[in-house]
């Protein structure tokens, strides 16, 4: 396949309970534990194939109002059109260990190289008297929302709720595909998931002058984000129509279609570790060559902060829960192929981690903003 498969997720969302309105409780799972339908099994099978072969897929039937996508795009463009001085009124340094707010172009690193993008960090909205906030737990706290445009905070919180529901639905489908009860992740790893959201603005790529010396670094490709994989379970990406995202599959870099109302989903390192390599955390990168500013909206749906990610027992990967069901996806033993450390972009083995997910994420994110992390540590 030359592009990630397109999957209609609606059967997995039809019977979810409504999410709680109490944001102080986190984005707890609305997944129900009833019987799995034939249509849900077929969605699970499609997810299983996508996760084994590419680690990327596109989602329709996600239930997110197109008007919400349009509002986020419009309001984000208004925010990024402001001066850096104005945007710095919600700079990340002001949020302390919560790591929320705006950062300028070049302040975030990927693979040790500055990204050609700016952005805003958000997450589950927590009040200052939440025990985790009072304890200074990294990546926990209230969001920093700008005064202008006034509606951005409202749109962000609405999108966090809607996209988190989609994350729970996809994980329920993956549980079915892996021979687990539909609510397995919701009962354990994602009962209270770590939910982080970003809005990224990729400025137009600046071309080097024709008479620039060939040895200058200005002639090197300007990556919005260099090659990397994501850290957690699942990333759900909304984007505008400018394009620029590429995924590496079988040694080839494939462009991912830019469809504003379609979510692009990819797997993170923890899901690869959890499934002993059956599901792929696939390298990807971004380069904006559209000639205009590009917006993307990634939401990271990850294990609970205190969760410990351990590989699933092998029999849970190979034994369907109902062998008599002809529509039940099955897993052959030869489909489990753990990639070698040398094949990974960062030469590290995510399965070797033994601490909590929160500790893992803090160690990873500290490399993304080393100066900010150093200031907090000091």
**What pLDDT is stored for residue 321 in this prediction?**
42
- Per the DSSP assignment, residues forming a β-bridge with 264 are 58, 237
Listed as ranges, residues in the chain with pLDDT below 70 are 1, 15-34, 206-221, 314-348, 372-378
Those residues with Cβ within 8 angstroms of residue 371's Cβ, 6 or more apart along the chain or in another chain: 107
Q: What is the pTM of this model?
A: 0.86
The helix/strand/coil state of 140 is: coil
CA-to-CA distance for 54 and 164, rounded, in angstroms?
23
Joined tokens for residue 30: 């609305």
Tell me the CA distances in angstroms from 40 to 77, 149, 196, 220, 310, one per residue in order.
37, 40, 27, 46, 26
**What pLDDT is stored for residue 33 in this prediction?**
55
**What pLDDT is stored for residue 1 in this prediction?**
64
Say if CB 237 and CB 56 are below 8 A apart: no
**What pLDDT is stored for residue 79 in this prediction?**
98
Residue spans of alpha helices (H) in the chain: 10-13, 38-53, 66-80, 84-87, 131-134, 152-177, 184-187, 269-274, 314-318, 357-368, 370-377
- What pLDDT digit, counting tens, does each position of 137-178 carry? 999 999 999 999 999 999 999 999 999 999 999 999 999 999
**What pLDDT is stored for residue 371 in this prediction?**
73
Tell me the CA distances in angstroms from 340 to 176, 267, 374, one per residue in order.
27, 17, 32
Backbone phi, then psi, for 206, in 5-degree steps? -95, 120
Domains and CATH numbers, the chain: 6-377 (2.60.120.330)
């Amino acid at each position: 396949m030359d592009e990630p498969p397109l999957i209609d997720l609606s059967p997995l969302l039809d019977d979810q309970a409504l999410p709680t309105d109490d944001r102080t409780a986190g984005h707890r799972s609305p997944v129900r534990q009833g019987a799995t339908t034939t249509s849900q099994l077929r969605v699970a099978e499609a997810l299983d194939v996508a996760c084994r072969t590419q680690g990327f897929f596109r989602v329709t039937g996600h239930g997110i109002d197109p008007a919400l996508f349009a509002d986020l795009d419009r309001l984000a463009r208004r925010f990024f059109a402001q001066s850096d001085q104005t945007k710095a009124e919600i700079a990340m340094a002001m949020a302390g260990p919560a790591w929320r707010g705006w950062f300028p172009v070049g302040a975030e690193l990927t693979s040790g190289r500055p990204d050609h993008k700016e952005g805003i960090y958000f997450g589950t909205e927590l009040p200052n008297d939440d025990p985790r906030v009072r304890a200074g737990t990294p990546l926990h706290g209230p969001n920093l929302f700008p005064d202008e445009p006034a509606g951005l905070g409202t749109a962000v919180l609405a999108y966090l709720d809607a996209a988190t529901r989609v994350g729970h639905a996809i994980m329920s489908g993956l549980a079915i595909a892996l021979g687990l009860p539909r609510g397995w992740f919701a009962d354990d790893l994602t009962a209270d998931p770590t939910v982080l959201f970003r809005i990224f603005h990729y400025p137009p790529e600046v071309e080097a002058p024709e008479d620039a010396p060939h040895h200058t670094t200005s002639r090197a490709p300007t990556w919005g984000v260099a090659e990397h994989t994501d850290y957690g379970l699942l990333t759900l990406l909304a984007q505008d129509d400018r394009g620029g995202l590429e995924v590496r599959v079988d040694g080839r870099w494939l462009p991912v279609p830019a469809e504003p109302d379609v979510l692009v989903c990819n797997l993170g390192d923890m899901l690869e570790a959890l499934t002993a390599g059956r599901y792929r955390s696939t390298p990807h990168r971004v380069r904006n060559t559209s000639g205009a500013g590009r917006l993307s909206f990634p939401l990271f749906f990850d294990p609970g902060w205190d969760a410990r990610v351990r590989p699933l027992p092998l029999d849970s990967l190979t034994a369907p829960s109902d062998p008599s069901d002809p529509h039940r996806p099955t897993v052959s033993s030869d489909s489990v192929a753990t990639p070698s450390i040398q094949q990974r972009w960062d030469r590290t083995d995510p399965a070797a981690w033994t601490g909590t997910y929160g500790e893992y994420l803090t160690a990873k994110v500290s490399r993304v903003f080393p100066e900010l992390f150093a200031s907090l540590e000091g």
